Structure 1
């Protein structure tokens, strides 16, 4: 009985510690989950493929040769300011910009991915 009580006390303590350090819903949002809330479901797989290849979903990814920046590798990076002043650090702003860019230049993320598969850039 004493061992069970000790285990229960330990388990309760661990749960309490976990609750105290668990991230909030806002901070737990990943760039991928943000993209899923912005990009239509029928375009999301293509959007994911491009961003995965371009930046590995790293918001601060910088191409050492060209200086392209962010999730969508904007060149120059500051053109993402059209989507928000927080373009350097905000996944949401970068996703909005990249989605608009793919739609404007290629018609959709699906068409941008079709182009990327041939040219290995977009």
Structure 2
């Protein structure tokens, strides 16, 4: 086995680890929202379009378990729960920016191809 093969296997393993942590439809969107500012649960529910309260709760627990976000209970009436990105979680901001940029380009490419076909 050459050194390049070992490096490739390490990278693939690291990608699998990353995808395990960020898997699912919602986690990257939640992280992206919290990279801008901390939010209450209800605010996140509005910002992450299409997610149910139950799913948001589950995803937030996973992200907290992986030390990407921090949960703070505020003693108000009614009790408020506030979420913010941790410094470790903030290391994903660059990744979310790259994903967003790629998504914008991809939408343009697909739309352009669609427009060429439909003309």
Q: Under a length normalisation based on structure 2, what TM-score does the superposition of the two structures give?
A: 0.29
Instruction: Name the structure with the higher strand share.
Output: 2
Q: Under a length normalisation based on structure 1, what TM-score does the superposition of the two structures give?
A: 0.28
Per chain length, whose mean CA-contact separation is higher, i.e. which structure has more relative contact order (CA < 8 Å, sep 6+)? 2
